[in-house]
Chains A and B, each alone.
Chain A
Amino acid sequence: MQDIRKALYVGSRSDGTLIQRPMSPHLQVYRYRLSMVLSISNRITGVIATAGAALGVFWLGAAAKGPKAFATARKVTGNPLGQLVLVGWLASVVYHTVGGIRHLIWDAGYRYDKEELNKDGPVAVGVTAGVSTVLAVALLAVAGCRRSKRAKAGKVS
């Protein structure tokens, strides 16, 4: 199936040869604004959040499969690289949530003026950074404590 929009992008040079006209918007001609980074970030974090949710389902599947499979999953969630991935997932979910709440507010008809948007952007970044850091540190600390307690008790699992 040919995209109908493509037909509109055919132009001709002065010598008559056909040419595919460039598509707009041309990202490189715009001055950098925070809002454009936040906008595309909402999409990117949405994709990352989905990938993380898929990993979460595999974790749940491992728990459902049995102790052996779950031990393998714990090797992933227990090592620093795995935890880095988990923190990345957490931060993505937090930003996507903050971005989503902003979208719901805009849909309701508020905070959509230029000045308001520019004021709220840095707040969204701050809230994301704060909430992500607090949650990540607290969750890793809780998990670490529980692990070391169990190690002291001499249980191996």
Chain B
Amino acid sequence: MNASVPHIEVMRSQLGRARGLGAGHSGVSHWWAERVSAASLLPLSTWFVVQMFRLGGADHAEVVKWGGKPVNATMLAALIITTFYHAQVGLQVIVDDYVHGKAHLPTRLLIKIGTSLMGLLGVFAVIKLVVRSGSGK
């Protein structure tokens, strides 16, 4: 950035900035949610890729044993929740940009419900894996 050219640093009022509000009295929180979840996904996804090297071609018993370990289950659940939260926030921006008029609201709700359900399904799958691994099946 060129410091010698005068420019407006922040296009928001000081009060709005202090309260974390954008033009529509939201938006800044949405922006932060997207960035923070993105940054959190960096270590979580790296962990998952490493785990895939351990699991590539594995059979059912090996996957259950892997998923049943507390650390793996925790990381997996954190990865699933963060992934679908980030997806929800990101897809909402895409819908806001490209879907106008009557279709906008239903599409947005569909994104919210769809990503939430996928996240829930993932978390319950992890819980089931832990239970399965504990019972030795």
Contacts and interface: CB of A to CB of B under 8 A. Distances in A.
Contacts of A84: none
Chain B contact surface mostly: helix
Interface in B86-109: 87, 90-91, 94, 100-102, 104-105
B126 to A, nearest CB: 7
Interface residues of A, number: 47
A133 interface: no
B57 A145 contact: yes
Contacts of A43: 94
B125 to A, nearest CB: 4
A125 interface: no
Interface in A43-89: 43, 46-47, 49-50, 53-54, 56-57, 60-61, 63-67, 70-71, 74
B52 A60 contact: no
Contacts of B87: 46, 49-50, 53
A155 B121 contact: no
A43 B91 CA distance: 9
A138 B35 CA distance: 30
Given A53-B83, A57-B118, A67-B60, A138 B125 contact: no
B125 A64 contact: yes
Chain A contact surface mostly: helix
B118 A53 contact: yes
Interface residues on B, range: 35 or more
Given A3-B101, A60-B67, A146-B57, A104 B128 contact: no
B22 interface: no
B59 A64 contact: no
Nearest to A109: B1
Contacts of A157: 59-60
B91 A50 contact: yes
B35 A135 contact: no
A143 interface: yes
A93 interface: yes
A146 B59 CA distance: 10
A50 B125 CA distance: 18
A57 B56 contact: no
18 contacts: A1-B105, A3-B101, A43-B94, A46-B91, A46-B94, A53-B118, A57-B122, A60-B126, A63-B129, A64-B129, A70-B59, A93-B45, A103-B38, A107-B35, A112-B1, A139-B56, A142-B57, A146-B56
Q: Which 9 residue pairs spanning A and B have beta carbons closest together?
A: A143-B56, A146-B57, A143-B57, A64-B128, A57-B122, A64-B125, A50-B87, A60-B125, A70-B60
